[in-house]
């Protein structure tokens, strides 16, 4: 397999460009250390693209993404563009079309709270003495958000609004396969989250997930109703390894998971399409958080979410797993050494308050050893 890779880099707005600089420097060091190359094409997206060429997702950007092995995305949006029509806004106008265009149906959101950062989690620290490491696999292109019919009408002098939750067996099967495969690379435990006591979609979900489990006999599969899953996440997050769920439940649970992890600045995400014949996925990789306009331009944003997005990209789209692991280890080492951006800093003994660039450099130093 070629080790000369190509990615499209879409830094976007707010803190996006600031944290992207650090992520690309980390990528440079990983390339040199592990002997591969990653050509980058930098493209306009979001508010920056609206300002420059009048569209949040210019055709040149789509073309560059098409010609690449993966997309490294920063973040888009901000107060400057909030008054545009919803479909012209940076998030709706860029993220959703990219997901749709490239068929990115699987959203992988790790929720990690490192042992050294449990104080940043709102969960009682005695419940998570060793932190936690959960991976949420959310179906991203189906379910109630996209089901038809959807709309509103007048009925008996009243107004009713309706959405349709619909899942096909093939949609459930492909997302479950991604979740089982992810579990195989971790602790081999998968929780499937549904509402099978009420929803027909969930009954099918449970049946198909149980069927897919036969191909992964080493993975321990359990099923949880979504209300129970929401409770268990705050009560004992360290009991989870991988979680798989539909679009609506995944939207809510992955944000709950981000919240209990402590800081959005630590969490990457991946949106993947079909697995290729070489075992790799086309995907888009981005921090779980947004463009953080409240701290943009101040040089204090945490670059770790963007740097860990590079690690996910290397693993899932480029097949450079060794480099991915080394970047993750370097992030852990920087945190263990006491480096803290403002979102993590508490002033405790042993902590050093770091700017975006200083945190990036600490990770590069750890990676270079």
Give every CB contact of residue 244 below 8 A, 6+ residues apart in sequence. Answer: 137, 138, 175, 176, 178, 179, 190, 191, 192, 193, 209
Of 245 and 291, which has the nearer Cβ to ligand NAD? 291
Q: Does 292 bind ligand NAD (CB under 6 A)?
A: yes
Tokens representing 277 are 């014949």
Which one among 165, 253, 295, 364 touches ligand NAD, defined by CB under 6 A? 295
Which one among 84, 116, 252, 264 touches ligand NAD, defined by CB under 6 A? 264
Choices 73-81, 103-111, 220-228, 277-285; region in contact with ligand NAD by CB under 6 A: 73-81
Among 13, 195, 241, 343, which one carries the catalytic annotation?
195
Residue 160 CB coordination number (10 Å): 10
Residue 49 per-residue DSSP state: H
Does the active-site annotation cover 251?
yes
Of 24 and 305, which has the nearer Cβ to ligand NAD? 305
Which one among 192, 302, 309, 317 touches ligand NAD, defined by CB under 6 A? 302
Among 42, 145, 187, 345, which one carries the catalytic annotation?
145
Choices 70-78, 183-191, 214-222, 240-248; region in contact with ligand NAD by CB under 6 A: 70-78
**98 touches 57 (CB < 8 A):** yes
Choices 112-120, 124-132, 194-202, 289-297; region in contact with ligand NAD by CB under 6 A: 289-297
Q: Does 326 bind ligand NAD (CB under 6 A)?
A: no
| Calpha distance 141→169 (Å, rounded) | 14
Nearest distance, CB of residue 99 and ligand NAD, angstroms: 11
Q: Distance of CA 79 to CAs 13, 83, 89, 312, Å?
A: 11, 8, 10, 30
Does the active-site annotation cover 227?
yes
Tokens representing 139 are 């179906």
Among 80, 187, 251, 345, which one carries the catalytic annotation?
251
Q: Does 301 bind ligand NAD (CB under 6 A)?
A: yes
- CA proximity to 279, closest of 185, 141, 211, 192: 185
DSSP letters spanning 112-135: EE-GGGGGGSSS-GGG-TT-EEEE
Three-class secondary structure of residue 214 per DSSP: coil
Does the active-site annotation cover 195?
yes
Does the active-site annotation cover 255?
yes
Q: Does 259 bind ligand NAD (CB under 6 A)?
A: no
| Calpha distance 336→278 (Å, rounded) | 36
Tokens representing 42 are 């930098």
Q: Does 95 bind ligand NAD (CB under 6 A)?
A: yes
| Calpha distance 16→200 (Å, rounded) | 41
Which one among 22, 70, 91, 254 touches ligand NAD, defined by CB under 6 A? 91
Which one among 291, 327, 331, 335 touches ligand NAD, defined by CB under 6 A? 291
The residue whose two tokens read 């499937």 is 192
In the shown chain, the binding pattern of residues 173 to 212 toward ligand NAD, with x for contact by CB under 6 A and - for none, equals: ----------------------------------------
Phi, psi of 353 (to 5 degrees): -75, 130
Give every CB contact of residue 241 below 8 A, 6+ residues apart in sequence. Answer: 133, 134, 135, 183, 186, 187, 188, 189, 190, 191
Catalytic site positions: 145, 195, 227, 251, 255
- Residues near ligand NAD (CB under 6 A) are 15, 19, 75-78, 91, 95, 264-265, 286, 289-295, 301-302, 305, 343
């Amino acid at each position: 397999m070629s080790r000369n890779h190509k990615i499209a880099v879409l830094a976007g707005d707010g803190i996006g460009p600031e944290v992207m600089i650090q992520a690309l420097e980390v990528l440079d060091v990983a390339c040199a250390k592990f002997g591969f190359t990653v050509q980058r094409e930098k493209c306009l997206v979001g508010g920056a693209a609206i300002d420059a060429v009048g569209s949040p997702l210019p055709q040149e950007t789509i073309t560059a993404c098409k010609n690449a092995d993966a997309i490294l995305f920063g973040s888009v949006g901000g107060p400057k563009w909030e008054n545009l029509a919803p479909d012209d806004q940076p998030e709706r106008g860029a993220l959703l079309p990219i997901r749709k265009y490239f068929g990115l149906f699987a959203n992988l959101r790790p929720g990690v709270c490192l042992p050294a950062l449990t104080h940043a989690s709102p969960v009682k620290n005695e419940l998570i003495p060793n932190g936690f490491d959960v991976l949420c696999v959310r179906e991203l292109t189906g379910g109630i958000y996209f089901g038809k019919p959807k709309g509103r009408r007048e009925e008996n002098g009243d107004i009713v609004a309706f959405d349709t939750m619909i899942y096909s067996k093939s949609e459930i099967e492909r997302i479950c396969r991604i979740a089982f495969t992810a579990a195989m690379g971790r602790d081999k435990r998968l929780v499937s989250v549904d509402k099978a006591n009420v929803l027909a979609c969930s009954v099918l979900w449970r049946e198909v997930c149980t069927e897919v489990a036969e191909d992964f006999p080493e993975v321990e599969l359990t099923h949880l109703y979504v209300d129970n899953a929401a409770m268990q996440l705050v009560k004992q997050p360290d009991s989870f390894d991988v979680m798989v769920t539909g679009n609506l439940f995944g939207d809510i649970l992955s944000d709950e998971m981000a919240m209990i992890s402590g800081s959005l600045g630590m969490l990457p995400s991946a949106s993947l399409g079909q697995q290729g014949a070489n075992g790799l996925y086309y995907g888009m990789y981005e921090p779980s958080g947004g463009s953080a306009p409240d701290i943009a331009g101040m040089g204090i944003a945490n670059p770790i979410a963007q740097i860990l997005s590079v690690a996910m990209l290397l693993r899932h789209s480029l097949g450079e797993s060794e480099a991915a692991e080394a970047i993750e280890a370097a992030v852990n080492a920087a945190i263990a050494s006491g480096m803290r951006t403002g979102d993590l800093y508490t002033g405790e003994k042993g902590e050093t308050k770091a700017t975006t660039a200083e945190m990036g450099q600490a990770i590069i130093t750890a990676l270079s050893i």
